[in-house]
Amino acid sequence: MTTASDAYGVIRSVIEANVPNDQNGRPIDLRFYGDQAPLLPSIPQPFAFILFDASRASVIEVGGGRGANRHRNPGIAAIYLFVPQDWTLKVATDLAESIATLFRSYRQNGVSCESATVYPGGLGSQMKPPGTDSEVDNYMWACCEIEFYFDLTG
């Protein structure tokens, strides 16, 4: 049986084991939602911000009596790739694509990926509430969204 924590761990470990390199050949920083992360640097550097969300499960198989039904739990991992504004949106999109490639047809450790979609974002200023002060203005972003599921028995 795979739990939400297990699925999160699988997605995270795949990303951590395959950190993409920026256009200068250096691995980008990874920032996972819920982890304590340093403030954005005053000199922009590429990084990924990863969100994980599991949705409501539904019964997909009944059998074996109480506690033996199989439930399918869908989830989404959204990986936002930020690059310095002068690097162009293409660089952010290419980094997102390098992560999406890892999850297309991924089916291991109790997690099955159904799709990995890349879409260009734009200016980092779109990612902050108006009127707030943030270094995110210095960035361009793209996103890789991974749809997956894991099964639970109960």
Per-residue pLDDT reduced to its tens digit, 90-146: 999 999 999 999 999 899 999 999 999 999 998 887 876 666 666 778 899 999 999
How far apart are the C-alpha atoms of 110 and 119, rounded to whole Å? 27
- Architecture of the domain delimited by 4-153: 2-Layer Sandwich (3.30)
Q: Which of 113, 150, 120 is nearest to 15 (CA)?
A: 113
Report the predicted TM-score, pTM, of the whole model to 2 decimal places.
Answer: 0.88
| DSSP classification of residue 142 | E
For residue 1, pLDDT beyond 80: no
